[in-house]
Amino acid sequence: MVRTGKWFGRISIEASPYRAGASRHPSSARRGIGCLCAAFLLLGAFLTLHAQQPSFPGIEYPRGQDVSPTFDGWERNPDGTFSLWFGYFNRNTEEEVDVPLGPENNFDLGTGDQGQPTHFYPGRRWWVFKVVVPKDWPREKRLVWTLTNRGRTNLSKGWLQPEWEADKLLISANAAADPFLMSLGRPISDAIIEGDTAPVIAGSPTQTVILPATVTLRVTVTDDGLPKPRRGDRTADGQIRGGVEGLRVRWILYRGSGKVQFNPEVSPPVYGKPLIAETKVTFSAPG
């Protein structure tokens, strides 16, 4: 599925010992593999709010630490609604943490499922997903995301604080902190262009797979060609030599239990034509 308003697409697959069904949805992946990242433009920002935890500068822990949700800022939408953007901070340097939907991973809105991840990669992840609230949402009203893991309950509270308003340029200009969003090989300030729009992503149709079989996912991505890559060698099929400029797709796990392997994990960069990316997915467990 396409993560609207952010420069990502997401495809989900639901695996069971007997069969796994793939589905697309505009805001969440129910229980599956999910996230492909078309990282021709970097994203991220530096606005956070989360429960305070002990911090020891210079000390890193490979595993055993908790995950905190973060509030990264908000956007005005053309229809008058607002998008509240959230991310997270996994304090481990190596361990990936899973927190299933439910009392330990929920919002105080609707059913509690607002498209948040259940699989958390190490480190700080910015602008992971958004929650759209109505145009009459009170300025001081808090939207609370709760994560309970490793014996701690951490809260992130998002609201329409004027100083935390963001736009696409701000999100893009501050993206370098997220290693999932690949550098364009130039100063990020040179790569931000007014009027640059998100790519359009079309994903695989619904699929089923009987474990332990693998499944192949395929997406087609089209772009406006901005920002233009610098001069350099380009292969006959549009791929770029010696750098990462151009449109790329990265596949990551967004929701689901067990380990998931993507082959390949990242597509070659392409510029000047639609990008068609495929990956073979292997599941270690149903979920």
pTM of structure: 0.74
The alpha-helical segments, DSSP class H, found in 138-281 are 168-173, 188-191
Do 104 and 90 lie in one domain? The reply is: yes
Distance CA 167, CA 75 (A): 6
Alpha carbon distance, N-terminus to C-terminus of the chain: 18
Do 209 and 260 lie in one domain? The reply is: yes
Please tell me what DSSP assigns to residue 257.
S
Do 53 and 159 lie in one domain? The reply is: yes
Asked if the structure places residue 171 within a domain, the reply is no
Helix (H) or strand (E) holding 223: none
Asked if the structure places residue 173 within a domain, the reply is no
Do 85 and 190 lie in one domain? The reply is: no
Do 287 and 253 lie in one domain? The reply is: yes
pLDDT in tens, the chain (287 residues): 223 233 344 444 444 333 333 333 323 333 333 333 322 222 222 222 333 344 445 678 999 999 999 999 999 999 999 999 999 999 999 999 999 999 999 999 999 999 999 999 999 998 899 999 999 999 999 999 999 999 999 999 999 999 999 987 777 666 555 656 554 445 455 556 666 777 889 987 777 788 888 999 999 999 888 777 666 556 666 555 555 467 889 899 999 878 899 999 999 888 888 999 999 999 888 76
- Please say whether the beta carbons of 117 and 88 come within 8 A: yes
Do 19 and 92 lie in one domain? The reply is: no
Do 17 and 88 lie in one domain? The reply is: no
Strands in the chain per DSSP E: 2-3, 8-10, 12-14, 20-23, 35-38, 67-76, 82-90, 97-98, 105-107, 119-120, 123-133, 143-149, 152-158, 200-202, 208-209, 215-222, 249-252, 260-263, 275-283
Structural domains of the chain, count: 2
Bond preceding residue 274 cis, omega within 30 of 0? no
Most distant CA atoms of the chain, gap in Å: 55
Question: How confident is the model at residue 136, as a pLDDT?
Answer: 98
The alpha-helical segments, DSSP class H, found in the chain are 168-173, 188-191
Asked if the structure places residue 188 within a domain, the reply is yes
For 223, the domain range is 1-41+184-287
Asked if the structure places residue 177 within a domain, the reply is no
